[in-house]
Amino acid sequence: MRIEEDVKLGFKDVLIRPKRSTLKSRSQVDLTRNFTFKNSGKVWTGIPLIASNMDTVGTFRMVRVLSSFHVLTAVHKYYSYTHWKNFVCSISETLLKYVVVSTGMSENDFIKLKKIFSLSSKLQYICIDVANGYTEQFVAFLKRVREYFSDKIICAGNVVTGEMVEELILSGADIVKVGIGSGSVCTTRVKTAIGYPQLSAIIECSDAAHGLGGQIISDGGCIVSGDIAKAFGGGSDFVMLGGMLAGHDECEGQIIEENHKQYMIFYGMSSKSAMDRYIGGVARYKAAEGKSVKLLFRGTVDKTIRDILGGLRSTCTYVGASSLKELTKRTTFIKVTEQENQVFN
């Protein structure tokens, strides 16, 4: 039996040290990034935040709002081909660069993926998403998708360790999705004991990816915009958000009313609620690895995304980074035992 002695860090364990800065205003900070991807050779410019491909967050309505901020939406895999067809016909082609098409790894998923991509050559992102990105079957599926979609940007995950990031990049992924057990409605760590504190996963996996010319997405665990800044500061190229974008108008969650207040139901994609909805319940050999929560309804996502982008610009000014790209280089984390002052919470 082996124990790794160095303590792995989550967002709650650090803060970022301020640095001298020549920036005069937050408006001078550019959050746009330009990437040229390793395997597809594709170029993409935008703000590297992604709405998670959960069925209540990665919706077509979310695309319409977030694309106006140049932010990506990973559209969930439960829309039918007909839904996709209607959507692609109804949206300006230029906005399709902010759309990520999610897929599982069954034969039917592959067939549907090919049909969706035949709708428009402007669709360019594929996200092959599984809870456990460590299986041989997953790597084989990734290779197959890369062979067929040689010029599309492929994201694949989830994993949390450098050696698997390398394997996925060498098997055709442009971007590796990093995070196991960190999500807001995830119960994997309690059910299975598997997981990796998100900040350390980012630091280790981005190092592995960048060494090969690949990129990573930090997926899960951001609760406030400061966490997003820590994810970018730690080396993440993209950050995926579920809970922070849940509970809005653009989400397709069930709304309930209690004591004159409106709530929206938000659940994990491996929760009983999701399995009941999509695969007819939890199979006898499985346990649910997600939970269902009730969020205070928050109105349109427009305000939330502005708040997040404002927070990120402010982080950049505190460390003297004139662009998001510089944030990693200018980040020094300090380990802490306190975060915000909670006296009035």
Q: Which residues are marked as active site?
A: 186
Distance between CA atoms of 184 and 194, rounded to whole angstroms?
Answer: 15
Q: Which two tokens stand for residue 296?
A: 């205070």
Kindly state whether residue 198 participates in binding ligand 5GP, applying the rule CB under 6 A.
no
Distance between CA atoms of 148 and 145, rounded to whole angstroms?
Answer: 5
Query: Looking at beta carbons only, is 275 or 321 nearer to ligand 5GP?
Result: 275
Query: Looking at beta carbons only, is 119 or 131 nearer to ligand 5GP?
Result: 131
Question: Per-residue string for binding with ligand 5GP, 315-334, x by CB under 6 A?
Answer: --------------------
Q: Which two tokens stand for residue 244?
A: 């922070």
Q: What are phi and psi of 115, to 5 degrees?
A: -65, -40
Distance of CA 10 to the CA centre of its chain: 16
Kindly state whether residue 268 participates in binding ligand 5GP, applying the rule CB under 6 A.
yes
Strands 175-178 and 215-219: parallel
* H or E element at residue 190: helix 188-192
Query: Looking at beta carbons only, is 305 or 321 nearer to ligand 5GP?
Result: 305
Q: Of the candidates 46, 133, 162, 221, which one interacts with ligand 5GP according to CB under 6 A?
A: 221
- Site residues for ligand 5GP, 36-95, by CB under 6 A, read 52, 54
Q: Of the candidates 128, 269, 295, 319, which one interacts with ligand 5GP according to CB under 6 A?
A: 269
Instruction: Give the sign of the dihedral formed by CA 153, CA 49, CA 90, CA 265.
Output: positive
Closest approach of Cβ 189 to ligand 5GP, in Å?
8
Kindly state whether residue 188 participates in binding ligand 5GP, applying the rule CB under 6 A.
yes
3-state helix, strand, coil in the chain (%, to 5): 35, 20, 40
227 belongs to an annotated ligand binding site:
yes
Alpha carbon separation from 312 to 30, 175, 206, 224, 290 (Å, rounded):
10, 22, 20, 11, 29
104 belongs to an annotated ligand binding site:
no
173 belongs to an annotated ligand binding site:
no
Query: Looking at beta carbons only, is 183 or 234 nearer to ligand 5GP?
Result: 183
- Segment near ligand 5GP (CB under 6 A); pick from 64-72, 79-87, 214-222, 315-323: 214-222
SS3 state at 169: helix
63 belongs to an annotated ligand binding site:
no
127 belongs to an annotated ligand binding site:
yes
Q: Of the candidates 220, 233, 234, 253, which one interacts with ligand 5GP according to CB under 6 A?
A: 220
Query: Looking at beta carbons only, is 124 or 271 nearer to ligand 5GP?
Result: 271
121 belongs to an annotated ligand binding site:
yes
Kindly state whether residue 295 participates in binding ligand 5GP, applying the rule CB under 6 A.
no
Q: Of the candidates 125, 290, 319, 330, which one interacts with ligand 5GP according to CB under 6 A?
A: 290
Kindly state whether residue 222 participates in binding ligand 5GP, applying the rule CB under 6 A.
yes
Kindly state whether residue 270 participates in binding ligand 5GP, applying the rule CB under 6 A.
yes
Please list, in sequence order, all residues whose beta carbon lies within 8 angstroms of the beta carbon of residue 7, skipping any fewer than 6 positions away.
none
Kindly state whether residue 155 participates in binding ligand 5GP, applying the rule CB under 6 A.
no
Distance between CA atoms of 187 and 201, rounded to whole angstroms?
Answer: 18
- Site residues for ligand 5GP, 228-257, by CB under 6 A, read 240-244
Residue 227: closest CA among 184, 265, 164: 184
CA angle 128, 132, 133 (to 5 degrees): 55
Q: What are phi and psi of 316, to 5 degrees?
A: -60, -40
Residue 129: closest CA among 84, 178, 164: 178
113 belongs to an annotated ligand binding site:
yes
156 belongs to an annotated ligand binding site:
no
Kindly state whether residue 226 participates in binding ligand 5GP, applying the rule CB under 6 A.
no
Distance between CA atoms of 85 and 241, rounded to whole angstroms?
Answer: 26
Residue 162: closest CA among 208, 99, 222: 208
- Site residues for ligand 5GP, 101-140, by CB under 6 A, read 131
Residues that bind ligand 5GP (CB under 6 A): 52, 54, 131, 158, 179, 183-186, 188, 219-222, 240-244, 268-271, 289-290
What are the binding residues for K(+)? 181, 183
